[in-house]
Structure 1
Amino acid sequence: MPRAPLPRSHGGARPRSRHRTACGFTLIELVTTLAVMAILATWAVPAFQAQAARQEVTTDVMRLKTALSMARSTAITRRTPIVVCPLDDSTSAGCSKANDWTQPLLIKPWNDADAPALRILADGEVESITYRADRPVRFTALGRASGYNGTFRICGRRSNAARIIVSNFGRVRVERGADC
């Protein structure tokens, strides 16, 4: 038995419906989403700032520890005294007389004005790095720092701090949570 054809719609018009479909979101959904985002931002931003402050101190601790360890290793390898000091901006080849260890760090042979710098490390990010004296750290050919030993105090934002201790034997160690 053949089927009867379905009636065709005339004019392509849709049948009218009582309900329209929603396109987008409501004002209540928008306000709720913004409130949740504001709460998350209020909670996350201080934690992120504290993490960034800790990271600044960690970065400078590693920078200074690397410079000191590299200088000691070079002194032992070359069997000659090596010095680590803040770079003097005016000469760009010598040690600074200031005690500002946040400046770029210079690693070079001791008492050899004509010798080129072995390494220059970038400047620091923290607020202050202090050392007990306004002189460089010198490692002898045996890797000792006798007479040049001491403690570096690295102070960052939000009371983040650390100390780097250089022993008479030239060993470098780090302590967290120093006072600034």
Structure 2
Amino acid sequence: MFPSTAFHPGGFTLIELMVTLSVLAILAAAAIPNFSSFLHHSRMTSESSRLSSDIETARSEAARRNATVSLCPTADGTSCTDDWSKRRIIFVDAGNDGQIGAGDEVIRNSDAPTARTSITASNIPSGTVVRFRSFGTSTPPNAAWQFCESGSSSDGLMVSLTGSGRASARQVPCNAS
């Protein structure tokens, strides 16, 4: 006898495979914009949270040590710059001059923000240093940093510093650059 022609192997037909792949492609096309938005928001939240953490560390160290503690961006780890897209350094400012001197103790060197992150500081008269006094207040009292993603018009985040030295973040519009 001949084997039965009704035997079906456990595979898919070409039509079933094409329909499944089409459905997956449609779902992926719908998910990609949401995923891009999620990644953008995650990057901005991460970067702004790192600055907020640096601010809180500087503030608490000033109170703990009963001394002035400064926070500034640095390119080389030994001097302050006005480019807040560089890594940041927190140090005990023994000379109270806003510069890292021989007698100043470095508390933390942060990692540099990602290259795609644009950080614009405002309300910092010197452009470089934020100081925290031993009772927690900051100079300047109303500093702010805007975090945007280069080349993106999606909203970014603004970290604002109050006179009491506390940081808060809020969503702000960004312009593509």
Return the match for 1:117 from 91, 99, 106.
106
Alignment correspondent of 1:45:
32
Give the Cα separation in 1 of the matches to 2:166 and 2:4: 83
More strand by share: 2
1:35 correspondence with 2:25? no
The AA in structure 1 aligned to 2:118 is S
Q: Is the 8 A contact 2:73 2:89 kept in 1?
A: yes
Deviation, 1:76, is: 0.8
Mapped pair 1:135 → 2:128: yes
Q: Which runs of 5+ in 1 are unaligned?
A: 1-14
Distance between the aligned counterparts of 1:30 and 1:146, measured in 2? 65
How far does residue 178 in structure 1 lie from its aligned partner after superposition? 4.5
Between 1:111-120 and 1:22-31, the stretch displaced more is 111-120
The answer on 1:22 being equivalent to 2:5 is no
Partner Cα distance (1:149, 1:139) in 2: 13
Q: Is the 8 A contact 2:141 2:164 kept in 1?
A: no
Q: Which runs of 5+ in 2 are unaligned?
A: none
Aligned to 1:8: none
Tell me what 1:81 maps to. 68
Query: Between Structure 1 and Structure 2, whose CA radius of gyration is higher?
Result: 1
Given that 1:75 and 1:143 are in contact with CA atoms closer than 8 Å, whether structure 2 keeps it comes out as: yes
CA contact (8 A) 2:154 2:173 kept: no
Q: Secondary structure at the match of 2:146?
A: strand
Contact 1:137–1:149 under 8 Å retained in 2: no
Single out whichever of 43-52 and 140-149 deviates more from structure 2: 140-149
Separation of aligned partners in 2, 1:32 and 1:147: 62
Specify the alignment match of 2:154 in structure 1: 159
Deviations 1:89-118 (A, max 9, x none): 3xx2332x2x32222111111236123420
Which residue is equivalent to 2:142? 149
Query: Using the alignment, how far apart are the partners of 1:174 and 1:25 within structure 2?
Result: 53
The DSSP-based 3-state class of the residue aligned with 1:118 is: strand
TM-score normalised to structure 1 length: 0.81
- Alpha-carbon contact 1:131-1:153 (below 8 Å) kept: yes
- TM-align CA RMSD: 1.9
Q: In structure 2, how many angstroms separate the alpha carbons of the residues matched to 1:146 and 1:137?
A: 6
Q: Deviations over 1:48-72 (max 9, x none)?
A: 1110000001001110000001100
TM-score by length of 2: 0.82
Asked if the contact 1:50/1:158 (under 8 Å) is kept, the reply is no
